[in-house]
Amino acid sequence: MNGEIEGNAGARRESGEGAEASAEGRGGVYRVLVVDDNPVVVSVTADVVRALGYEADEAFNGAEALIKMSQKEYHAILCDLRMPVMDGEALYQLLRQQQPEMAKRIIFSTGDTGAVSSMQILNRLGAPVIAKPFNMDELDAVIRSVIKGQEEQKP
């Protein structure tokens, strides 16, 4: 088992090594918001995020993500690029204007990395990207990287 998560509801971390250390920060557990319009992807990804030791909440578009972010602080936001209502790009741009520190927490997840238009958007935005399907170690590494960036900016 290589830990790939899309379509693999039973995926679990093969080695629990490091999961707890990566998921706990000052004052408690790190929280990740999973944003995708595909309910299966959201559910499986959130389960994997939890298996890695993080808390996870779910949203099905950028508008729902904004509501969740107004209610709770998230240390990382794993967000699909293409969604109805409000897509990942619109969410990112809004956060850059209104809450720049939150925009730095976005990690784009997309299965559309072969499309020129998607790659142009992702390159222009400059946020971290993880291609679907991704494995648990890749997901953990990118979440840790985003959290580490926040910790380094704290006084």
How many Å apart are CA 151 and CA 30, to the nearest integer?
12
Asked if 66 contacts 111 with a C-beta cutoff of 8 angstroms, the reply is no
Q: What is the DSSP string of 87-104?
A: -HHHHHHHHHHH-HHHHT
pLDDT band for position 4 (cuts 50, 70, 90): very low
All domains of the chain in start order, with CATH: 28-153 (3.40.50.2300)
Residue 20: is its pLDDT beyond 80?
no
More confident residue, 13 or 89: 89
| pLDDT at residue 9, rounded to an integer | 32
Task: Kindly report the backbone phi and psi dihedral angles of residue 76, in degrees, each rounded to the nearest multiple of 5, phi listed first.
Answer: -150, 145
> Is the torsion defined by CA of 39, 96, 146, 25 positive or negative?
negative
Q: What is the pLDDT of residues 69-123, one digit of tens each?
A: 999 999 999 999 888 999 988 999 999 999 989 999 999 988 765 566 666 777 7
